[in-house]
Structure 1
């Protein structure tokens, strides 16, 4: 069924259920403008959006012309949702605490004779645990979406963070340490590790939406800038935006259900009855 017929049918089914557009979008976790444009026939919605709307409207659906296609509704388990929520909350804490970490690490890089504050060690421990929980949320997302690259890259990032924190603490009182060389190695290696993680987000965007493509693109840009080192200051700006978006992603998968398609199909082949 193509537009505008699809939009007209959705409008009829919505009214038959006695739902306003606002009530429908609240149940589907989409915005009002989107449903307005769908019903007006201005846009052809993604297949997973149609599926979400049809579920709320309690309308049967089937695929015609794709006998081997299989539509799997992914309803994340309560445990997975707790991991996503925990990762998002940990990400928020990490986001703010890391500001202090970046400041003191940057200052230490410029002057190895710096007297570090007493809270430097606790800050490192907080970063250790919150970043691990934050990235573990994406490991779980990779497991739920069968994305091996997202799982492996998440594990590598968690392990790298443990190594970074250990090295930072170990070098804390070693004034003979060449912090500039260490800083370069740390920044470049982080950039390289961010690349497969970003690719993992990009590869699952067909399953979970274009916002994952945007996040993956930002992550890749930050990774490239970090890997050059000389552009690492610009990379920090991009990484800040990336982290905000990544935290949003974890909240979104915590609060919504998604529909994974084993094979691709065109919306014109979706018959709603």
Structure 2
């Protein structure tokens, strides 16, 4: 079972002990743990086993599960903070990606274009993964298996598409072949987009109207991808959807951080 990490754990025990006006020696007598062990735990030098921590906390009339819940919330806050920040980076680099894709078949591109293109694609993929992990965390918080599964599927689909773009850059693919396969990709992964949108829509009660609107936009984008010829329209629909999704993650993060 995960608990608070050091030095937060040690500081918490010190605060609890002082609130109860208990000395280290008295705490030793209560929980049958050596003074040296207590000192090292409070100093943040060692992390006790859960069984030892439970004994220490119970001797201070503190529920062990509260420590666990506090640690879980902190982990969620850290994940969500990283998710909304990198979500912004993903959104901004995603706009640049459109221009890079548009110019990739020009004949007079500079020699360093391929490395800029590859670097941009890898940055986009990395930031997108952390962005979507924010929704995985929200799925855990709200016990939504649908959101967790669809978020992982979104990560998988994005990984395939971005890696395909990089591979084809260094292979002999014509412009027609490239965009044909991109269209097929859009159709193939449209169902995943729609599933993700439905999972957001279903959490409108917990996450507010933003989740409902973002979900509908994601579903609309998925429907456009299914038609193949409206794929580019789907891409434009995704822009406001992504902005709303960043706001959703931020609002969940802000609420948890302030508790």
TM-score range, shorter chain: 0.5 to 0.7
Greater relative contact order structure (CA < 8 Å, 6+ sep):
1
Deviation, 1:134, is 0.4
Q: Which has the larger radius of gyration?
A: 2
Could you tell me which of 74, 84, 91 is aligned with 1:88? 84
Q: Which structure shows the higher helix fraction?
A: 2
Deviations 1:142-181 (CA, angstroms, capped at 9, x unpaired): 1111111111110011111111122111111212452132
Q: For residues 114 and 241 of structure 1, what CA distance do their matches in structure 2 show?
A: 34
Deviations 1:193-228 (CA, angstroms, capped at 9, x unpaired): 111100110111122222211111111111111221
TM (normalized to structure 2)? 0.65
Map 1:62-211 → 2, pairs under 5 A: 77-108=73-104, 111=105, 115=109, 117=113, 118-176=115-173, 178-211=177-210
Q: Which structure shows the higher strand fraction?
A: 1
Q: For residues 217 and 144 of structure 1, what CA distance do their matches in structure 2 show?
A: 22
Deviation, 1:185, is 1.6
Q: For residues 219 and 103 of structure 2, what CA distance do their matches in structure 1 show?
A: 26
Q: Is contact 1:87–1:134 with CA below 8 Å preserved after alignment?
A: yes
Q: Size of the alignment, in residue pairs?
A: 182
Q: For residues 115 and 188 of structure 1, what CA distance do their matches in structure 2 show?
A: 30
Q: For residues 255 and 211 of structure 1, what CA distance do their matches in structure 2 show?
A: 15
* Structure 2 unaligned residues grouped into runs of 5+: 1-68
Give 3-state SS (helix, strand or coil) of 1:196's partner: helix
- Superposition RMSD in Å: 2.1
Number of the residue aligned with 2:252: 253
